[in-house]
Amino acid sequence: MGDGVMALFPNHPGDAVSSAIAMQQELHSYNATARDTGLHEINIGIGLNTGDMMLGTLGEANRMEGSVISDAVNLASRLEGLTKIYGAGILVSDVTHDASAGEFVSRRVDIVAVKGKEKPVGIYEIIDGEPDTSRLLKEKTLVSFSDGVSYYQTQNFEKAADCFKTVLGTNADDLTADLYLARCQTLLREGWDQASWDGIERLQIK
């Protein structure tokens, strides 16, 4: 896993989300101190998913290790990778989001088909884990952002673009809104096949 860390939460998906938020908040505190003392800041992305898995020990007498085998784990890893694209600290699958709905402030980010998978999955950003300034701005623009995503999914790209411009007018650093605005402008400029366009972002990165 390189510099990554995997953690399992056996009870409720909300436990994983709460832990991710706590990790990000602690990191924001560290980074504030790092800025004041000239140290390097650290940024991490967290991907969360919920599903079945096989957990056990692999190997032989002289070399054994615990391992997890699961498509659900693979998707969590893919979501972690997507945090860089969407500028999000925490991304969760629709399964995790729906299981903990109402417990956290979130926004629907996209519908994606990750590399190696045909089935699309809805992904959500957990806003509670953002630094205070970013969190407040994303909460303030939540309605405009959500409207923009809805318009985008129904191929109303002009209205979607207007919504994302409104978001960026308040929060110029919203990477996801900027990404959506660029998509809308490209589609409006180059056109699209209304019959085949399904709103799914097919990604080729891991």
Instruction: State the CB neighbour count (10 A cutoff) for residue 137.
Output: 19
pLDDT of residue 87: 94
Residue among 196, 124, 199 at smallest CA distance from 154: 199
- State residue 43 phi and psi, 5-degree precision: -125, 140
Tell whether pTM > 0.75: yes
Give the pLDDT of residue 1: 54
pLDDT of residue 108: 97
Domain 13-202 indexed as CATH 3.40.1000 = no
Q: CA-CA distances (angstroms) from residue 196 to 70, 92, 118, 192?
A: 31, 27, 16, 9
Residue 53: band (very low, low, confident or very high) from pLDDT cuts 50, 70, 90? confident
CB atoms within 10 A of CB 174: 21
pLDDT the model gives residue 2: 60
Contact 187, 158 (CB under 8 A): no
Average pLDDT over residues 131-148: 96
Q: What is the pLDDT of residue 121?
A: 94
pLDDT in tens, 141-182: 999 999 999 999 999 999 999 999 999 999 999 999 999 999
Give the span between the Cα atoms of 70 and 109, in whole angstroms.
24
Q: Which one has a higher pLDDT value, 81 or 58?
A: 81
How far does CA 146 lie from the centroid of its chain?
A: 15
pLDDT at 56 over 80: no
Whole-number average pLDDT of the chain: 91
**How is the beta sheet containing 201-202 ordered, strand by strand?**
46-48, 90-93, 121-126, 106-113, 201-202
Name the percent of the chain lying above pLDDT 70: 98
pLDDT at 49 over 90: yes
Q: What pLDDT does 45 receive?
A: 94
pLDDT of residue 19: 95
Separation between Cα atoms, residue 170 and residue 71, nearest integer Å: 38
Tokens of 131: 């630094």
Q: Which of 55-59, 85-89, 114-118 has the highest mean pLDDT?
A: 85-89
Strand partners, 30: none
Q: What per-residue confidence (pLDDT) applies to 80?
A: 93
- pLDDT, one tens digit per residue, over 101-110 is 888 999 999 9
